[in-house]
Protein backbone atom coordinates (compact mmCIF):
# COMPACT_ATOMS: atom_id res chain seq x y z
CA UNK A 1 0.00 0.00 0.00
CA UNK A 2 1.53 3.25 -1.07
CA UNK A 3 1.49 6.67 0.50
CA UNK A 4 1.34 10.14 -0.98
CA UNK A 5 1.18 13.67 0.35
CA UNK A 6 -1.28 16.31 -0.75
CA UNK A 7 -0.16 19.80 0.20
CA UNK A 8 -2.23 22.63 1.67
CA UNK A 9 -5.35 23.87 -0.13
CA UNK A 10 -5.10 21.37 -2.96
CA UNK A 11 -8.08 19.24 -2.05
CA UNK A 12 -11.73 20.15 -1.62
CA UNK A 13 -13.80 17.75 0.48
CA UNK A 14 -17.44 17.48 -0.52
CA UNK A 15 -19.61 16.54 2.46
CA UNK A 16 -22.08 13.72 2.07
CA UNK A 17 -24.92 12.93 4.42
CA UNK A 18 -23.69 10.75 7.25
CA UNK A 19 -25.85 8.10 8.89
CA UNK A 20 -27.10 9.55 12.18
CA UNK A 21 -26.50 8.26 15.64
CA UNK A 22 -29.24 8.88 18.16
CA UNK A 23 -28.47 10.94 20.17
CA UNK A 24 -25.57 12.63 18.41
CA UNK A 25 -22.51 11.52 20.40
CA UNK A 26 -21.23 14.86 21.68
CA UNK A 27 -20.64 13.28 25.09
CA UNK A 28 -20.15 9.71 26.17
CA UNK A 29 -23.26 7.80 27.19
CA UNK A 30 -22.68 6.18 30.56
CA UNK A 31 -23.61 2.47 30.55
CA UNK A 32 -27.04 1.95 32.08
CA UNK A 33 -29.72 -0.71 31.96
CA UNK A 34 -31.28 1.09 28.98
CA UNK A 35 -27.91 1.82 27.35
CA UNK A 36 -25.60 -1.11 28.14
CA UNK A 37 -22.00 -1.57 27.12
CA UNK A 38 -22.01 -3.88 24.09
CA UNK A 39 -18.29 -4.56 23.65
CA UNK A 40 -15.49 -5.08 26.16
CA UNK A 41 -12.62 -2.80 25.15
CA UNK A 42 -10.29 -3.98 27.92
CA UNK A 43 -7.05 -5.45 26.62
CA UNK A 44 -6.63 -9.19 27.29
CA UNK A 45 -4.16 -10.19 29.99
CA UNK A 46 -1.78 -11.65 27.41
CA UNK A 47 -1.86 -8.42 25.40
CA UNK A 48 -3.25 -7.64 21.97
CA UNK A 49 -1.91 -9.31 18.85
CA UNK A 50 -0.84 -7.17 15.92
CA UNK A 51 -1.69 -7.90 12.31
CA UNK A 52 1.75 -9.45 11.80
CA UNK A 53 1.08 -11.98 14.57
CA UNK A 54 -2.14 -12.92 12.76
CA UNK A 55 -0.19 -13.48 9.56
CA UNK A 56 -1.78 -10.49 7.83
CA UNK A 57 1.06 -9.14 5.71
CA UNK A 58 1.30 -7.38 2.36
CA UNK A 59 0.77 -9.91 -0.45
CA UNK A 60 4.03 -11.39 -1.68
CA UNK A 61 4.98 -12.60 -5.13
CA UNK A 62 4.58 -16.33 -5.78
CA UNK A 63 7.71 -18.41 -5.66
CA UNK A 64 8.82 -20.14 -8.87
CA UNK A 65 6.31 -22.83 -9.71
CA UNK A 66 3.69 -21.46 -7.31
CA UNK A 67 0.38 -19.93 -8.25
CA UNK A 68 -1.69 -17.67 -6.07
CA UNK A 69 -4.88 -19.35 -4.90
CA UNK A 70 -8.16 -18.02 -6.26
CA UNK A 71 -10.20 -15.90 -3.88
CA UNK A 72 -13.96 -16.49 -3.62
CA UNK A 73 -15.78 -14.44 -6.24
CA UNK A 74 -17.62 -12.29 -3.68
CA UNK A 75 -14.36 -11.32 -1.95
CA UNK A 76 -12.68 -10.51 -5.26
CA UNK A 77 -15.68 -8.39 -6.28
CA UNK A 78 -15.62 -6.40 -3.02
CA UNK A 79 -11.88 -5.82 -3.30
CA UNK A 80 -12.43 -4.42 -6.81
CA UNK A 81 -15.44 -2.33 -5.81
CA UNK A 82 -16.02 -1.93 -2.05
CA UNK A 83 -19.57 -0.61 -2.50
CA UNK A 84 -20.57 -4.13 -3.59
CA UNK A 85 -20.37 -5.05 0.09
CA UNK A 86 -23.59 -3.14 0.67
CA UNK A 87 -25.48 -5.90 -1.16
CA UNK A 88 -23.66 -8.83 0.41
CA UNK A 89 -25.15 -11.20 2.98
CA UNK A 90 -23.38 -14.09 4.68
CA UNK A 91 -25.03 -17.47 4.25
CA UNK A 92 -25.05 -19.53 7.43
CA UNK A 93 -23.56 -22.99 7.04
CA UNK A 94 -26.14 -24.79 9.19
CA UNK A 95 -29.39 -23.26 7.93
CA UNK A 96 -28.36 -21.67 4.64
CA UNK A 97 -30.13 -18.46 5.69
CA UNK A 98 -28.63 -15.21 4.40
CA UNK A 99 -27.61 -12.69 7.06
CA UNK A 100 -26.94 -9.15 5.88
CA UNK A 101 -27.42 -5.54 6.92
CA UNK A 102 -30.97 -5.83 8.27
CA UNK A 103 -30.10 -8.92 10.28
CA UNK A 104 -27.05 -7.11 11.67
CA UNK A 105 -29.22 -4.16 12.75
CA UNK A 106 -31.70 -6.49 14.43
CA UNK A 107 -28.88 -8.24 16.27
CA UNK A 108 -27.40 -4.91 17.39
CA UNK A 109 -30.77 -3.88 18.81
CA UNK A 110 -31.18 -7.26 20.48
CA UNK A 111 -27.85 -6.77 22.25
CA UNK A 112 -28.74 -3.27 23.43
CA UNK A 113 -27.16 -1.11 20.72
CA UNK A 114 -30.34 0.90 20.19
CA UNK A 115 -29.05 4.31 19.07
CA UNK A 116 -28.30 3.55 15.41
CA UNK A 117 -30.38 2.79 12.34
CA UNK A 118 -29.99 0.89 9.07
CA UNK A 119 -28.08 3.74 7.39
CA UNK A 120 -25.43 3.62 10.14
CA UNK A 121 -25.09 -0.15 9.80
CA UNK A 122 -24.89 0.07 5.99
CA UNK A 123 -22.06 2.61 6.12
CA UNK A 124 -19.97 0.52 8.51
CA UNK A 125 -20.94 -2.80 6.89
CA UNK A 126 -19.36 -1.71 3.60
CA UNK A 127 -16.11 -0.62 5.25
CA UNK A 128 -15.92 -3.63 7.56
CA UNK A 129 -16.46 -6.17 4.77
CA UNK A 130 -13.90 -4.38 2.61
CA UNK A 131 -11.40 -4.68 5.46
CA UNK A 132 -12.22 -8.34 6.15
CA UNK A 133 -11.90 -9.16 2.44
CA UNK A 134 -8.45 -7.55 2.49
CA UNK A 135 -7.56 -9.61 5.58
CA UNK A 136 -8.47 -12.82 3.75
CA UNK A 137 -6.39 -11.81 0.73
CA UNK A 138 -3.41 -10.71 2.82
CA UNK A 139 -3.39 -13.82 5.00
CA UNK A 140 -3.80 -16.20 2.07
CA UNK A 141 -1.17 -14.38 -0.03
CA UNK A 142 1.42 -13.78 2.70
CA UNK A 143 5.07 -14.69 2.43
CA UNK A 144 4.73 -18.05 4.14
CA UNK A 145 1.76 -19.25 2.09
CA UNK A 146 0.96 -21.33 5.17
CA UNK A 147 -2.74 -20.40 5.44
CA UNK A 148 -5.20 -21.55 2.81
CA UNK A 149 -7.96 -19.33 1.46
CA UNK A 150 -10.48 -21.62 3.16
CA UNK A 151 -8.76 -21.20 6.54
CA UNK A 152 -8.57 -17.43 6.13
CA UNK A 153 -12.25 -17.27 5.19
CA UNK A 154 -13.21 -19.41 8.17
CA UNK A 155 -11.47 -16.96 10.50
CA UNK A 156 -12.47 -13.62 8.96
CA UNK A 157 -15.26 -14.03 6.41
CA UNK A 158 -18.36 -14.72 8.50
CA UNK A 159 -21.33 -12.90 9.97
CA UNK A 160 -20.18 -13.17 13.59
CA UNK A 161 -16.86 -11.46 12.86
CA UNK A 162 -18.62 -8.64 11.01
CA UNK A 163 -21.09 -8.28 13.89
CA UNK A 164 -18.27 -8.03 16.44
CA UNK A 165 -16.76 -5.22 14.37
CA UNK A 166 -20.11 -3.39 14.41
CA UNK A 167 -20.43 -3.80 18.18
CA UNK A 168 -16.88 -2.49 18.63
CA UNK A 169 -17.64 0.57 16.52
CA UNK A 170 -20.89 1.21 18.39
CA UNK A 171 -19.08 1.06 21.73
CA UNK A 172 -16.40 3.48 20.56
CA UNK A 173 -18.55 5.92 18.60
CA UNK A 174 -21.83 5.99 20.52
CA UNK A 175 -21.12 4.90 24.07
CA UNK A 176 -17.69 6.54 24.36
CA UNK A 177 -18.21 9.41 21.86
CA UNK A 178 -14.89 8.64 20.16
CA UNK A 179 -15.64 9.92 16.67
CA UNK A 180 -13.36 9.50 13.67
CA UNK A 181 -11.82 12.53 11.99
CA UNK A 182 -14.29 12.56 9.08
CA UNK A 183 -17.22 12.27 11.47
CA UNK A 184 -15.94 15.31 13.36
CA UNK A 185 -15.37 17.24 10.13
CA UNK A 186 -18.87 16.38 8.87
CA UNK A 187 -20.38 17.59 12.14
CA UNK A 188 -18.27 20.79 12.05
CA UNK A 189 -16.48 19.94 15.29
CA UNK A 190 -13.07 19.77 13.57
CA UNK A 191 -11.61 21.78 10.72
CA UNK A 192 -11.23 20.12 7.33
CA UNK A 193 -7.78 21.77 7.16
CA UNK A 194 -6.44 19.52 9.93
CA UNK A 195 -3.68 17.06 8.99
CA UNK A 196 -5.28 13.68 8.32
CA UNK A 197 -4.44 10.41 6.61
CA UNK A 198 -7.19 9.00 4.40
CA UNK A 199 -7.39 5.89 2.24
CA UNK A 200 -8.37 6.04 -1.42
CA UNK A 201 -11.39 3.76 -1.88
CA UNK A 202 -12.08 4.58 -5.51
CA UNK A 203 -11.26 7.02 -8.29
CA UNK A 204 -14.22 8.44 -10.19
CA UNK A 205 -13.74 9.73 -13.72
CA UNK A 206 -15.71 12.84 -14.72
CA UNK A 207 -19.06 12.18 -16.35
CA UNK A 208 -19.82 13.29 -19.88
CA UNK A 209 -19.91 17.07 -19.97
CA UNK A 210 -17.95 17.36 -16.72
CA UNK A 211 -14.42 16.92 -18.10
CA UNK A 212 -13.42 20.35 -16.80
CA UNK A 213 -14.00 19.18 -13.22
CA UNK A 214 -11.46 16.39 -13.42
CA UNK A 215 -11.53 13.14 -11.44
CA UNK A 216 -12.75 12.85 -7.86
CA UNK A 217 -11.62 10.50 -5.10
CA UNK A 218 -13.68 8.49 -2.66
CA UNK A 219 -11.69 8.75 0.58
CA UNK A 220 -12.21 7.06 3.93
CA UNK A 221 -10.75 7.16 7.41
CA UNK A 222 -11.91 3.58 7.91
CA UNK A 223 -15.14 4.66 9.61
CA UNK A 224 -16.73 7.15 7.22
CA UNK A 225 -16.33 8.27 3.61
CA UNK A 226 -16.07 11.57 1.78
CA UNK A 227 -15.67 12.73 -1.83
CA UNK A 228 -12.56 14.78 -2.66
CA UNK A 229 -12.42 17.19 -5.58
CA UNK A 230 -8.85 17.68 -6.78
CA UNK A 231 -6.94 20.62 -8.15
CA UNK A 232 -5.05 20.41 -11.44
CA UNK A 233 -1.71 19.03 -10.11
CA UNK A 234 -3.42 16.23 -8.18
CA UNK A 235 -5.69 15.49 -11.14
CA UNK A 236 -2.59 15.05 -13.29
CA UNK A 237 -1.13 12.73 -10.64
CA UNK A 238 -4.26 10.59 -10.89
CA UNK A 239 -3.98 10.57 -14.68
CA UNK A 240 -0.36 9.40 -14.49
CA UNK A 241 -1.26 6.60 -12.09
CA UNK A 242 0.61 8.16 -9.16
CA UNK A 243 -2.55 8.03 -7.05
CA UNK A 244 -4.39 4.72 -7.05
CA UNK A 245 -7.13 2.98 -5.10
CA UNK A 246 -5.67 1.42 -1.96
CA UNK A 247 -3.14 4.19 -1.34
CA UNK A 248 -3.07 6.41 1.71
CA UNK A 249 -2.97 10.18 1.25
CA UNK A 250 -1.64 12.57 3.88
CA UNK A 251 -3.83 15.67 3.57
CA UNK A 252 -3.52 19.12 5.09
CA UNK A 253 -5.31 22.36 4.34
CA UNK A 254 -8.29 20.78 2.57
CA UNK A 255 -11.41 22.90 2.13
CA UNK A 256 -14.91 21.70 2.96
Q: Rounded CA gap, 219 and 201, in Å?
A: 6
Which residues is 229 bridged to in the sheet?
12, 216
Q: Rg of the chain's alpha carbons, rounded to an integer?
A: 20
Tens-binned pLDDT, residue by residue, of the chain (256 aa): 444 544 443 566 665 555 655 544 455 555 666 678 999 998 888 888 888 887 787 766 666 666 777 899 999 999 999 999 999 999 987 777 899 999 999 999 999 999 999 999 999 999 999 999 999 998 888 755 667 889 889 999 999 999 999 999 999 999 999 999 999 999 999 999 999 999 999 998 877 665 557 889 999 999 999 999 988 888 889 999 999 999 999 998 888 8
Cβ burial, residue 193 (10 Å; 0-12/13-18/19+): middle
pLDDT of residue 23: 44
At 198, give phi and psi (nearest 5°): -125, 155
Q: Rounded CA gap, 120 and 137, in Å?
A: 26
Contacts of residue 184, defined as CB under 8 A and 6 or more positions apart, other chains included, come to 190
Q: pTM, whole model, 2 decimals?
A: 0.84
For 86-130, list the strands marked E by DSSP: 90-91, 98-99
Q: Rounded CA gap, 179 and 169, in Å?
A: 10
CA nearest neighbour of 62 among 145, 2, 154:
145
The ranges assigned to domains in the chain are 3-18+187-251, 73-179
Q: Rounded CA gap, 87 and 37, in Å?
A: 29
Amino acid sequence: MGNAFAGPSRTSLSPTKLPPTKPAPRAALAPTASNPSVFDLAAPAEGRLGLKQYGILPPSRPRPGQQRPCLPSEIAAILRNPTEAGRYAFRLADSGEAFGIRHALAELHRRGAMHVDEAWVRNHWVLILWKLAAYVQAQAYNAGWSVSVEEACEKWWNFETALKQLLYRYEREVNLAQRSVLKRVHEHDSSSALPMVLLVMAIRSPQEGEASRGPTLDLTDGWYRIIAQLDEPLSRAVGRGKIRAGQKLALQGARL
